[in-house]
Amino acid sequence: MTRVIHTGDTHIGYRQYHSPERRDDFLSAFDSVVDDAIENDFDAVIHAGDLFHDRRPGLSDLHGTISVLRKLERAEIPFLAIVGNHESTRGEQWLDLLETLGLATRLGAKPVVVGDTAFYGLDHVPESKRDDLEYEFSPHEQEHSALVAHGLFTPFEFGNWKSEVVLKEASVDFDAMLLGDNHKPGKERVEDTWVTYCGSTERASASERDDRGYNIVTFDGDVALSRRGIETRDFEFIPVELDGDEGIDRVRDVVREYDLDDSVALITIEGDGGDVTVARVEQFVVDEGALVARVTDRREIEAEEDELSVSFADPDDAVRNRVREMGLSETAHDVDEIVRASKVADSNVRTAVEDHVAERISEDIDAFEPAQENAKGEVADTMINEESEQTASGVSGESTEPETPASDSKTASSVAVATDDADAVESTDDESHDGTTATANGGDSADSTETRDATEEPQAPRTAPNRRSPRMRLIPRTPVPGTTKFRWRTICEIRPNSPLEL
């Protein structure tokens, strides 16, 4: 007989709600699982991925994890684990470091035997690469076998990885699939095999209302599954329905009915009633003893939804228009692109945002200024160049340029207009298609120089859906003698992972 704890999605290091106490909670939940394993003398602790919340865990998170795993080592209980999508890196994994320290065993295609059961591992694999998987595993001679995997498997909700395909194509017959990634626990019978999620050990989102815990799996002729809860910080979900002219006083009355001591309080306001200031409610809830307070006024959301006109023929365009109306800074627009529309992997989004913001801070602090409004009261969807005080609209294609005398070359060379120009795009098209990045070199060349009227209106940009448009800067150089035209230098910046498509 083999009796193990099946856990996963511990997300150590998650600073939920920007709270250091919540960050500690995730490590404490994992510590509780380990204490249970030692106290009840389990044969092993099986972790189904996302041990850490981030692929770059902090030093304190690593130190805390090592301290917890040391307890398992002293109790001679093996810790078997795989790599999840949150913690996955391009090279060596943090799990490999823990294995080097003798604190963990990384599961893979070769069996790791505990008692009379062989355990195998399947790290998280992006959906685009799953068709290439062959599910080849080394044979074993044990009475039972189990596959530990990380992903959203069918037949569970949101499943996009077919568990029946894995079981049919695998070179080993498994008695159980022990899964991670879905934070909701559950079990199903597929191809005469138990397929089960253990759920997360702490609430990583407001949708996780059920108690947290882990699975107990017993291999003894057949496979027996049971569940055990662990004690975690209280979450209080507080609905408030407002009628007539009811407002914040009614919200306070409802909140007082709950025991908020050191809890996370999530208040949802619905109905009608008067205006309610979210910040005042949250401060009141904290004063009542809550660790964290978050308020969602559904009335505001519903009102915004009523005001929006969305064409489902082009939902991306509707989203872009809504973001444009928010008056965000240039850098905020860049972050929106990285998070919402770029091809950056989910697990790398945080790093990509941090790197981009750090780069913009070093380059141009003005990029953090809110967008200006044009004469029509609309927010201009363009960039404010550090060399100019003028703003061009990236939506309408309109720009405001002062008349520049031909003799005033010094003034002309200091004016920069942010725009997308069709002719300029064509001049850099060859460079963009080979995956390289075109950058400014400070000089003129035959390919990047053209003559335009100083008063000519720039053309409206042509953009590819779900792609970052090339950022074009047309910088006037020396005026052409005897004319009202200028010689322009084109600078094109094309971000990685966003090829130029017109």
Angle at 344 between CA 152 and CA 348, to 5 degrees: 75
CA–chain centroid gap for 98, Å, is: 25
The 3-state DSSP class for residue 194 equals strand
Q: Which of the residues 53, 86, 124, 183 is marked catalytic?
A: 86
- CB count within 10 Å of CB 430 equals 10
| Token representation of residue 23 | 């960050």
Rounded to whole angstroms, how far apart are CA atoms 125 and 157? 18
Angle at 183 between CA 226 and CA 257, to 5 degrees: 95
Radius of gyration of the chain (CA): 29
The answer to whether 307 touches 337, Cβ cutoff 8 Å, is no
DSSP 8-state symbol, 7: E
Rounded to whole angstroms, how far apart are CA atoms 393 and 166? 52
Rounded to whole angstroms, how far apart are CA atoms 299 and 311? 23
The answer to whether 204 touches 235, Cβ cutoff 8 Å, is no
The 3-state DSSP class for residue 179 equals strand
- CB count within 10 Å of CB 484 equals 13
Whether 144 is a known active-site residue: answer no
Rounded to whole angstroms, how far apart are CA atoms 353 and 258? 38
Q: For residue 155, is the peptide bond before it cis, meaning its omega torsion is within 30 degrees of 0?
A: yes
User: Hey, which residues are catalytic here?
Assistant: 86
